[in-house]
């Protein structure tokens, strides 16, 4: 399992947590042991990774403190472990799907919104979050849309893991030829490329909840919580002026996922600023986090509780 972490310029240690050998070992185990046993072992393994990643654990607990200020320290500690455990379970599902041929069961909510998205004539910008299983979900969406779906990725933290991911994505491209990947690397003007795709009538999926690498942040407040979110997707929506939909994923069993397709929070009919877009996107994001806090796989501090403003009589 790849341990969650924020990206840094430090070169990963060979054989460390970001080495592809751990993933390959997991694939070997999954191919030789019953799935139920592997799922059972995921919980203690996740606890080990939780202990080995204190900085990420503190970040998750800080986010939970902002979302649920009434929780005690022990509840936050256990809650952060649940996030690590859910991350591990989705990783196992991903390997079962990519390497073991396990099929995924989907519970789709908001099919009428999906039909509307599919029939949009102009380009569409889809906002997603780091939850559920984004790789598997994008493959399903590309298949059901029947038109190209462009998704954004960031490089992995080690060369060995990046090579493994590249092989997986190449295999996926053979199965889902409509799924297109675009890497967000330093120095690349990805926003311009994505804007051109949207103006050409393509569908682009971006994750609007996590600031990584050199991504410019935007900090804004919703319901007493300060959110630090990436500015890029908002600038893209502001510039392209296309409909913006939200598609959110959550896990509820072994290779069983729920996909929520919400109505567009921006129609693209009129000019709207990035600040106004953030005010429309944040309630969607906040609602999902309060319902599925254990499935938000962001291991950096992104939330902070804001003290209520003083009032005068």
| pLDDT tops 60 at residue 125 | yes
Tokens of 240: 């392209």
Give the least confident one: 21-35, 144-158, 162-176, 181-195: 162-176
Give CA angle at 269 (265, 271), nearest 5°: 90
- Interval 227-279: pLDDT, tens: 999 999 999 999 999 999 999 999 999 999 999 999 999 998 888 999 999 99
* First and final C-alpha spacing in the chain: 56
DSSP SS3 for 261: strand
> Given pLDDT bands bounded at 50, 70 and 90, which one contains residue 12?
very low
Q: Which residue has the tokens 């500015």?
A: 231
Backbone φ, ψ for residue 178 (5° rounding): -90, -5
Contact in structure between 206 and 215 (CB atoms under 8 Å): no
| pLDDT tops 50 at residue 196 | yes
DSSP state, 69?
T
Tokens of 139: 């493959």
| pLDDT tops 70 at residue 173 | no
DSSP state, 270?
S
Measured over the CA atoms of residue 81, residue 83, residue 89 and residue 91, the dihedral's sign is negative
Q: Quick one: which of 265, 268, 255, 311 has its CA closest to 288? A: 265
Task: Determine the Cα–Cα distance for residues 10 and 7; give it in Å rounded to an integer.
Answer: 9
- Interval 84-100: pLDDT, tens: 999 999 989 988 988 88
């Amino acid at each position: 399992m790849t341990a969650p972490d924020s990206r840094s310029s430090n070169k990963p240690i060979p054989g460390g947590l970001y080495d592809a050998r751990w993933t390959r070992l997991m694939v070997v185990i999954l191919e030789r042991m019953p799935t139920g046993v592997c799922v059972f072992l995921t919980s203690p393994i996740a606890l080990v990774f939780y202990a080995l990643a204190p900085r990420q654990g503190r970040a998750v607990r800080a986010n939970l403190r902002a979302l649920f200020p009434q929780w005690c320290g022990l509840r936050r500690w256990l809650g952060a472990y649940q996030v690590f455990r859910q991350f591990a379970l989705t990783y196992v599902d991903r390997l079962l799907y990519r390497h073991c041929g396990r099929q995924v069961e989907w519970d789709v909510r908001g099919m009428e919104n999906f039909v509307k998205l599919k029939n949009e004539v102009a380009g569409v910008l889809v906002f997603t979050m780091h939850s559920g299983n984004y790789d598997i979900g994008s493959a399903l969406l590309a298949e059901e849309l029947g038109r190209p779906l462009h998704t954004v990725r960031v490089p992995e933290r080690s060369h060995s893991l990046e090579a493994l991911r590249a092989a997986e994505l190449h295999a996926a491209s053979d199965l889902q030829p409509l799924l297109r990947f675009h890497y967000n690397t330093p120095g690349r003007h990805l926003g311009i490329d994505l804007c051109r795709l949207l103006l050409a009538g393509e569908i682009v999926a971006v994750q609007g909840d996590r600031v990584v690498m050199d991504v410019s942040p935007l900090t804004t407040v919703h319901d007493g919580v300060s959110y630090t979110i990436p500015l890029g997707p908002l600038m893209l929506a502001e510039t392209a002026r296309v409909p913006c939909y939200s598609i959110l994923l959550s896990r509820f069993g072994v290779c069983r996922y729920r996909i929520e397709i919400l109505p567009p929070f921006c129609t693209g009919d009129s000019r709207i600023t990035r600040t106004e877009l953030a005010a429309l996107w944040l309630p969607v994001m906040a609602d999902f986090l309060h319902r599925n806090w254990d499935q938000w796989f962001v291991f950096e501090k992104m939330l902070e509780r804001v003290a209520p403003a003083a009032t005068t009589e």
